[in-house]
Amino acid sequence: MQTKLVNKVVIKRNGHVVDWDSFRIQTAVFKAAINGKYKDKPLHANMIANNVTKVVEKVIAELSFEKIEIETIQNQVIKQLNDFDKDVARDFLAYKTKQNIEQRH
């Protein structure tokens, strides 16, 4: 899977282009889960983060273009989270909203 993702780059909200990094997805999902529904269950939070990351990697790898906007990735994460656990999807949206507000200030 990783070989197909090597050529992918991400266009961040500020316009900067960075190399694809699956760990960023895993970290964001884990933080959302551990600060929400799975506050006392880090193994469950990690399992959800790993599973969602793998599915998102597969979807992104199949895209024909190399430059992916961060919103495309975020939407895919939310879609997959809704399939895995709707509560964590809500936690992720809340986490990303808070993070976006903090980045603006």
CA of residue 82 relative to chain centroid, distance: 12
Question: Which is higher by pLDDT, 97 or 1?
Answer: 97
How far, in Å, are 5, 29, 36, 81 from residue 59 at the CA level? 10, 17, 26, 14
pLDDT recorded at residue 59: 94
pLDDT recorded at residue 95: 83
pLDDT recorded at residue 1: 44
Tokens of 85: 């656990």
The vertex-62 CA angle with 6 and 46, nearest 5°, equals 70
User: pLDDT tens, 31-84?
Assistant: 999 999 999 999 999 999 999 999 999 999 998 889 999 999 999 999 999 999
> What's the rounded Cα separation, in Å, for the pair 36 and 72?
23
Contact 77, 92 (CB under 8 A): yes
> What's the rounded Cα separation, in Å, for the pair 74 and 59?
12
Contact 33, 93 (CB under 8 A): no
Residue 14: CB partners within 8 Å, gap ≥ 6? none
pLDDT recorded at residue 102: 73
pLDDT recorded at residue 96: 83
Kindly report the pTM of this predicted structure: 0.86
